[in-house]
Amino acid sequence: MSTVNFEISGMHCASCAMTNERSLKKLPGVQYASVNYARHIASVEYDETQIGIDAIREAVIKNGYGIVKKMTAEERRFAEKMHRRVLATRAVVSLLLSAPVLFLGMIWMAPLPWEIAGINLNPLIQAVLGGIVILWMGSGIHRGMFARLKTGGANMDTLVSIGVLSAFFYSLWEMFFGRGHYYFETGALIVALILTGRYLEARSRGQAGEAVEKLMQLGEVNARLIKDGVETEIPAAALNPDDIVFVKPGERIPADAEVISGESAADESMLTGESMPVTKKPGDQVFAATVNLNGALTLKTLKSGGDTVLSQIARMVEAAQSKKAPAEKLADKISGIFVPIVLAIALLTFTGWYLYTGDPTAGIIPAVTVLVIACPCALGLAVPTAVLVGTGVGAQRGIIIKNGEAFQKSYNIDTAVFDKTGTLTMGKPTVTDILAADGITEGRILSVAAGLEKYSEHPLASAVSAHANLTGALPESITGFKSDAGKGVSGFLNDGTSVSLGNPGLCEILLQQTIFCNQNRSTGAGQRPHGTSNCATGGIKEVIAEVLPQNKADAVKELQQRGKRVAFIGDGINDAPALAQADIGIAVGTGTDIAIESGSVVIMKGSPKKWRKS
């Protein structure tokens, strides 16, 4: 079995997604198919011995939709920016032209101050301005209707197009031959609202995709390829398995690889969430986009490009964002039959009035009314207004709510899952205690340690130096400083005494991650591989320890399968899949950009106390 994900263009409503999903599910060899309207992403699991990718994509094209070609991140950003600009222009022009049409429609019986040959210009101006909005600005809606008609289907474009065109052409007929009952403003306003909604949707989709893009940008580095003794700088994506690369201190590792020479420490917090560096020596594995801290390494590439752990995280985020909640699946099913039902009701309305009165024009207004009120114009106004007010109140409290879906899903959250490092804790080590031998003061120990660590770039060195500054301890003068990767640092005092830090010796400095706050009541979930947690978890009694990004997302998914409504609170790159998988992802504002992009809610001041308020 294989899985393919691709982006579909031309979808304008949930029924479009359902049309494509049904077509894909009917294909031989397709075991699973899901089309997410919010992301415009199709995910298909298929048997490659029965059907190929081209046939899968052709099924979508036959429905009148397009397949978005693979683009670089920069090309995609430019294309989406241009698309949003076109939508914004159409929406603004439609709203500006609809306003005078609405005004003139309200005073249609009142003649304007000027006339031409005794003809009132009011309906003529309405027809011209309304025609520009309905026929020109709304041309994409009508094209969508005709594209679906070619395949024998219907979608929301069908409903909107028939409604506004019926209102427009009926108003034209009334203007020339009838009694002067016009509906130009109705059609124009509906088109303006639909176009405004599509612009807002496009902007939301762009924001949702930024998390994956920023993840992949971490891996867009150059690698020093060593071949036949010659060093060549190439893009990391061009590496192949078994290539030999050289990585200097402070550089990002270009691929998943094995250390073949050199010793160093690597910052793998983006994968594990833990700020403590991991010692690397020959035979150890390193991962793409993690940081080589303090020693040069020669590596043999194991995986590169789309096969790295970083790429797997990106795919997990994308898959989680493309998932459908049960409520979304129900809404899709309803939308699939909504349009045909409305069209049938409108036809029955017209037929009933015609049979009752014998006048075909008598049934036009009621039928058009059915089509018009079935258009989502009320929701188009009410929902954005509610979201606008809610996001404004949240912003005043330091809580950024990024989309309306967060409001819908937050009311029945019953389980909260917290990342530890950087969320419940500060995310960096701090000195908590100094245990000194008899005859040596803590201040003396701290001064010597600060003198040694001021030459080191290790995260623990920063913790020691920060504590010395906080307590006013002056660093001792050190000569002959030496740093051994993975072992510690050493040097000599002015009197020639040899001192070292990192190995067991004269004293022990305890470094831990400091908790943000003591939470008396918190909820958590998961198995307890290492027993019940203590005060370091702030009262949380169930803990999953030492987990990778996939395990976090799986833990959230397991809770959801048990019927739980889950909020996940996190801050790191490794939290991105879980943030996207959860019903509500709450990112702490002090976290990484990728985590913030993956979450639906951002707590700006970085305190987990606010998660309940959010």
Task: Give the pLDDT confidence of 301-322 residue by residue, as tens digits.
Answer: 998 877 787 777 676 666 655 5
Q: Tell me the one-letter amino acid at 472.
A: G
Between CA 576 and CA 578 the distance in angstroms is 6
pLDDT band at 383 (very low <50, low <70, confident <90, very high): low
- The H or E element that residue 430 is part of is strand 425-435
- Strand-pair category, 584-588 with 566-570: parallel
Between CA 179 and CA 59 the distance in angstroms is 49
Strands (E), 287-423: 291-292, 297-303, 399-401, 415-418
Between CA 487 and CA 247 the distance in angstroms is 20
Measured from the Cβ of residue 598, the count of other Cβ atoms closer than 10 Å reads 31
- Using alpha carbons, list the distances in angstroms from residue 594 to 14, 216, 353, 428: 28, 10, 58, 19
Residue 519 pLDDT: 40
Say which residues have a Cβ less than 8 Å from residue 600's Cβ, sequence separation at least 6.
Answer: 401, 402, 403, 405, 406, 409, 584, 585, 586
pLDDT band at 521 (very low <50, low <70, confident <90, very high): very low
Q: For residues 551 and 572, is the Cβ–Cβ distance under 8 A?
A: no
Question: What is the arithmetic mean of pLDDT over 399-403?
Answer: 66
Percent of the chain topping pLDDT 90? 11
- The H or E element that residue 146 is part of is helix 139-150
Give start and end residues of each alpha helix (H) in 472-520.
none
Question: What is the arithmetic mean of pLDDT over 155-159?
Answer: 76
Rounded to two decimals, the pTM is 0.55
Question: What is the arithmetic mean of pLDDT over 365-373?
Answer: 77
Question: What is the arithmetic mean of pLDDT over 282-304?
Answer: 89
Q: Is the pLDDT of residue 609 over 60?
A: no
Q: Tell me the one-letter amino acid at 268.
A: E
Q: Is the pLDDT of residue 136 over 70?
A: yes
Q: For residues 316 and 266, is the Cβ–Cβ distance under 8 A?
A: no
Q: Is the pLDDT of residue 387 over 60?
A: no
Say which residues have a Cβ less than 8 Å from residue 253's Cβ, sequence separation at least 6.
Answer: 247, 266, 286, 287, 288, 289, 290, 291, 292, 297, 299
Residue 530 pLDDT: 38
Measured from the Cβ of residue 614, the count of other Cβ atoms closer than 10 Å reads 21
Q: For residues 44 and 24, is the Cβ–Cβ distance under 8 A?
A: yes
Packing angle, helices 184-218 and 156-177, rounded to 10: 150
Each residue's pLDDT tens digit, 5-52? 888 888 876 677 878 888 899 899 998 888 877 677 888 889 888 898
Between CA 45 and CA 15 the distance in angstroms is 21
Packing angle, helices 14-25 and 53-62, rounded to 10: 140
How many helices and strands in the chain, by DSSP H and E? 18, 25
Radius of gyration of the chain (CA): 32
Question: What is the arithmetic mean of pLDDT over 350-378?
Answer: 77
pLDDT band at 414 (very low <50, low <70, confident <90, very high): confident
Q: What is the dihedral of CA 383, 384, 386, 389, to 10 degrees?
A: 180
Measured from the Cβ of residue 106, the count of other Cβ atoms closer than 10 Å reads 10
Between CA 279 and CA 160 the distance in angstroms is 62
Tell me which of 419, 571, 575, 583 is the catalytic residue: 419
3-state secondary structure string, 530-586?
Answer: CCCCCHHHCCCCCCCCCCCHHHHHHHHHHHHHCCCCEEEEECCHHHHHHHHHCCEEE
461 versus 484: the higher-pLDDT residue is 461
Catalytic annotation present for 554: no
CA end-to-end span of the chain:
41
Residue 113 pLDDT: 59
Between CA 354 and CA 372 the distance in angstroms is 19
134 versus 179: the higher-pLDDT residue is 134
Report the mean per-residue pLDDT for the chain.
Answer: 76
Percent of the chain topping pLDDT 70? 68
Between CA 302 and CA 297 the distance in angstroms is 15
Q: For residues 198 and 190, is the Cβ–Cβ distance under 8 A?
A: no
Question: What is the arithmetic mean of pLDDT over 131-154?
Answer: 84
Question: What is the arithmetic mean of pLDDT over 356-362?
Answer: 79
Q: Is the pLDDT of residue 525 over 50?
A: no
Q: Is the pLDDT of residue 536 over 50?
A: no
